[in-house]
Structure 1
């Protein structure tokens, strides 16, 4: 343990009195609910590849991925779950930064595997929180970052024939999860690279954190037990990486011409014309898909 880390644990320090409790809450918040959410999120997104392989589910008439998304959106108290997740992420991130900036990285002095894992845990934590912020800001809050960052669900609505406006809320009944997720990744290689690096960082941070959590909680005391648990954590990390790969393949191979008429209507009205042409073909414009049809369905 570095001198500065010891200082945090001293009784007279700001964290000293609650050091033991904060360490365990920090560990617990990383495993549950954040870690659990990451696992569910990745395996849900992995369903994208089923659309590429099998198209729509004949039993439901919708893509396998959209079926999973609808299931999540139908969960009771979903908004409460979201707030709990955000609070957990904020707590884990803030306390993590406190530990990062009060600890010494000693990989140059002591070239041990544990030291490299210690450093990588902090590096991937920084990358992961930046990625999560961008992901939530553009996906959930619909921020248009830099004027080009069109990520899933980004949109500003559109105009009706009488010059009145229609918001994304009026089009929420149209399933757009898969098309916009695919669009985000196909839009530019920078977005794809950012997602790959960000998700891999989150996977490593969780899997390695799971290994250290077992030590923190006194579950793996001996070197042998730590080694066995390390194998399990590596296996979980590899499994999540496969899920990420399946999601990326599904998104990158998605053909936007397969969208339903309602999906094309939303797509053409919330994205720039050059992108509509790129993904739907020359000559296709929002005039081909009037928003009035969407409004009529939204009212019923």
Structure 2
């Protein structure tokens, strides 16, 4: 397989910015790299010549062959597609990325390429939304799982809490391996509820965290809705005190924080099918009255 010629690269550059500030990676349908701009080579730590010897599995080890094929098909059919995954540089460091792709056909050889602009996913709305759901604390780590492509984004806190570097180990389906048999059965039954439709969970589990230490962890997760359908799960894990006792606060303060967190998730909507009332399983009028009693104002749950 020969490298793209300068005229072929120029034709490609007419569609995408070939040497701009963003990483550009072009691969064929089998995932073999056919072109990479200077920025992509620098980010991944490989020379241009080295990149032409790579396949997407070399720098995106969490992206399955099936997911890549689906991405290629949608890119060609729709003229564009976007997915989330993790890239891995030459040092083995992983970081979340968002990949926006368009198709490009090399005219004189009829070689179909998928040209992808790669950006740091920590700047994406999905990642920011995931972090907005938790307090700023080293004891809390958040995640967001997409049902469509099974991609998962996790905060650095959550990787540290669990003592892992591979986000795939933090998918809900893999967490059961960290639980006792009894807790694993309870966990799996909750996951079935998520697969069957809208669901919310707020429960404590004893699970194996970093350094093989068994910790009491509060797990809060809920179905993420898009266009009226369940599209994934988002949530967070909170490590409790080592004694197994949660740091105590007043019942009213705990209730106030809980309501504010729900309102932030629903963008301040109280009633209706996508309101905080449904999340909390409480009547809208009752929730309004409780918000007034707990002195919850718009400023408390408006994300700036």
TM-score, structure 1 normalization: 0.25
| Larger RCO (alpha carbons 8 Å, 6+ apart) | 1
Name the structure where helix makes up a greater proportion of residues: 1
- Higher strand residue share: 2
